[in-house]
Chain A
Amino acid sequence: MGRAITKIQSIILLVIIVVVAAGSFWYYWSSMPAPSPAPPIKVGGIFHMSTVRGITNKIVMEMWRDEVNKRGGLLGRPVEVIVEDNRGETAANVAAHKKLVTEDKVVLVLTELTSWTLAVMDSAAELYNEYPHLQIATLQNSIVTNEKLLSDYNKYKFFFVANDGTLDTYQRYCESAKYFMTKCGYSKMALLIENMEWTRPYTQGLPKYGLKPLKEAFEEMGMKVVYYALTDIQEKVFFPLFDAIAASGAEFIFWVEQNMDTLTIVKQWATSAAKDIDLFLDGGAVTNYKFWEQTGGACLGVITAGPDVDYIKVTGGEPEFIKKLRDTGYGITMAAYHVYNALLAFEAAVKKAGTLDADKLIQALLEIEINGLLGKIKFKSPPAPDAHRVAVGYPYYIVYLGQWREDGNCKAVWPEEVATIPFVPVKSLRK
């Protein structure tokens, strides 16, 4: 007859059974494959990576990725950023786009510059049915891109533009020129226009949209254009030009340019007979925060569009954005604002649509109105001639003007809603 199990033995047995069971259970679970994390949402960018602008754009994309992932990602999925280098070649944009869409499976592609953007638009239209995705253009994309979109809306409906366009720029030229002329009581101006394809709407007008050549538009606004010239980007000697402007009696120099050698222009202007005539230069090196140092302070008083100002606050996020980018060693470019705004808009659209379905995202992009950088972001809807482009003008996205001041920084002076310092004519600044 067997011996009955004692109480202690039964406890030991129970403990053994529990330990074995727990061990088996642990072994079973640990040997199971780990549940795979949600696949990332991929966003691509195609930029010219040998330029400061390209590098800055990549930094901005990565900055946004980190911020979004910190917020928990999109639709519960992490975000991944892939940037391709177009090496400054149009054909390379197409190859990069195909790679991003077919291999990386991105849901959004950022592009820049009219010709590169147009090339990608065609590539994207070809691939859209098989690989639905969005394209947002981020810098210097003229009205031509909108015209292409509207020429076959269903084919190009995935296309959006995050930067101001030809029509906006035309309006800004008129408004800003009027502001400076009125504020200082000037009536005579010198109008110089860079001789490039992008300035054609300003030299010849855009009759299709009811826009006259800029010279005529200025004169209709009551400004007498006493000196008018086209300028070539390879020009290096400006002394006679400035002497001619001074002799013409001009009180304000308005220079529509993006590619002129602004370093040389400013150095020669500052010692010429025109040095007391206010000078507006639209873009180029003059917008860089190192320009003061580069010109040895010769740029005092020069006005420019969208420069790397030390401080600006429109919707609230700008000071931190400026600080973050300057901390990387690269300054602010307008393209940086456009890229960040494009990504914010995409993020808002994904949240609104609750899906990555391209058609629903397009609809969501047209419906959102959010706080971006330098104003609210809202895309215009058809039949506006610049449909799918961001609305421009305070409280929406603005292109501010800055003036180089005594402390070696560029300060926002226009529009008045965002100005951090009043505009002062160069003659007074020199005193």
Chain B
Amino acid sequence: MLEIEGLKVEVEGREILHGIDLKVDCGQTHVLFGMNGSGKTTLLMTIMGFPRYRVTAGSIRFRGQDLDGLSVDQRARLGIGMMFQRPPTVRGIQLEQMIRLIPGRETQDVQELAEKLNLSEFMRRDINYGFSGGEIKRSELLQLLVQDPNLVLLDEPESGVDMENMQVIGDFIRMLLQKDRRRTREHCGLIITHTGYILDYVEADLGHVICDGLLVCSGNPREMLEDIREHGFEECSRCVK
């Protein structure tokens, strides 16, 4: 589904990613660990195609197609979707209007989804205006459910979310990633996690550690998380050296 080879990325003239290789197969969920500033968000933003993130070498292929030169919206329409960690507030566009603007599946079940996500009273509010951390995540999830992407990029889905909301968010991420299906699963995911809490709600197939712009190791995500909890990322840095 997603194949990244030798990816180097610059932001404002400074190289952040120094050559990333990563492959996510159809139906899989991968988790990215790494310290702040290691390049995790840069990787997601580059896959989505934001112009600030300039690819200087390597390639990103999605369902066999090279994404080079495709704009953000073209990638979205190909089937890539992203949950933003800190999305901007857009004054004058209500969440309900945003949902109608999204080219995607039929939105007849949106009210029901909104209710389940405890978002009914937010539908007529300007998008992200005065939303709490948890409300932002739930609104992002609702938009993604309408967009229905094949590749789901989640940037710290648990940040700013209390335990009560974590269950709801976990359930809907599972829905987004079609975790209830096994053989016929068509969606895959790439999740950035800082705390690893999300792993208590969403099973992942593979974990990766990004360190100073390089993908330094991959393995069983739960084992990696335990390792990181015990030794911190310093161990990873040492490992690289």
A, B: real partners: no
Q: Residues of B with Cβ closer than 8 Å to A?
A: none
Q: Residues of A with Cβ closer than 8 Å to B?
A: none
